[in-house]
Structure 1
Amino acid sequence: MLHNAVVMVIIILVINIVYVSFSTMRMILTLKGFRYLAAFVSIFEILVYVLGLSMVLNNLDQIQNLIAYALGYGIGVMVGMKIEEKLALGYVTVNVITSRVKENLADRIRGKGYGVTHWVAHGKEGERMMMEILTPRKNEWNLINYVKELDPYAFIVSHEPKAFHGGFWVKAIRKDMRP
């Protein structure tokens, strides 16, 4: 009897981890514009969801099943986020502000294959070089670490752009981001 209860708890836990991971991925794919892939993932998401929920609802008298369901949900959120982090879908814009105006850092960053738009700006303590760099998300930390090598005191902010029009990267981006 105890063996069956433990197996049921493990099955419910695993099912909910899988369900929530699918759910997280579907949401991210939807937000990134991958409509058809998101719809395909949602088929499996709902199949797993119904299976797991029915197991819990058919055994509401077993509190450990409900706890396993809730625990699986929480773990599934973390697993889904980790999967998304590894996939690193989309692009980021990295904004860099440096006091090293005369050192031509933009050309050194371009030498690594990044497209850089730069201009001179004025901050509280004088002239600053502003750089805006668009890169695939999977390259974000490589770029940030390279900028830190060039200027350990650079101010760096990254964010995900919502739309693209014109410029150096647009043709490549359009190919990569077809829904």
Structure 2
Amino acid sequence: MIYVAMGLIQILYVALNSLRVVLMIKGRRYLASFISTAEIFVYIMGLAIVLKNLDSWIGVIIYSASYGIGILLGMYLEQKIALGHIALQVITENEHEIWSRIRAKGYGVTTWTGQGVTGVRTVSVILAPRKEYQDLTSTIREVDPKAFMISYEPNHFIGGFWKKKLK
């Protein structure tokens, strides 16, 4: 039973740690601070159990292995809550149908003309919540399976279509 407690405590600690780091990067300082308080409490409780049972190599292995499991859980949680926004740059030949569908979903689309190796292309940038990334890329792929997409996470926004929605 002690080994199960060791493993679960370590998994919880590392998952909280991962979540706290993401929140710090996203600028959510108060929530990150609150989570860090819970994180250190869990860490101290787990460490106390491990230090009382250092004579058991099984406990040390379980505690160490559960660190990796905690990392996986933290990454899974981060993907599920998907804080922040994604900027998607799209290069396509079939711009009109794509952009009308994207705009109908409430996204802002800024487009301009570019020159590719095989001719003129439309280059566009779309800003969306990270949670909506899959829906957005699926819509684009339905209309133009050959569209070239690059995504990145913007840090700051000033003005534009999304100005009111981002507050």
| TM superposition score normalised by structure 1 | 0.90
Code of the residue aligned with 1:76 in structure 2: it is G
Alpha-carbon distance, 1:95 to partner? 0.8
- CA RMSD of the aligned region, Å? 1.1
CA contact (8 A) 2:97 2:143 kept: no
Supply the distance in 2 between the matched residues of 1:85 and 1:105 (Cα, whole angstroms).
Answer: 26
Q: How does 1:17-166 map to 2 (within 5 A)?
A: 17-101=11-95, 103-166=96-159
Deviations 1:66-101 (A, max 9, x none): 111111110001111111111111100011100225
Deviations 1:79-138 (A, max 9, x none): 11111111111100011100225x353223111211100111001111001110000000
Structure 1 residue runs without a partner (length 5+)? 1-6
Provide the secondary structure at the position in 2 that maps to 1:153.
coil
| TM superposition score normalised by structure 2 | 0.96
Deviations 1:115-165 (A, max 9, x none): 100111001111001110000000000000000001000001111111111
Code of the residue aligned with 1:67 in structure 2: it is I
Structure 2 residue runs without a partner (length 5+)? none
Supply the distance in 2 between the matched residues of 1:148 and 1:18 (Cα, whole angstroms).
Answer: 38
**Mean CA deviation greater in 9-18 or 159-168:** 159-168
Supply the distance in 1 between the matched residues of 2:97 and 2:58 (Cα, whole angstroms).
Answer: 62
Identity of matched residues, %: 45
Supply the distance in 2 between the matched residues of 1:56 and 1:108 (Cα, whole angstroms).
Answer: 56
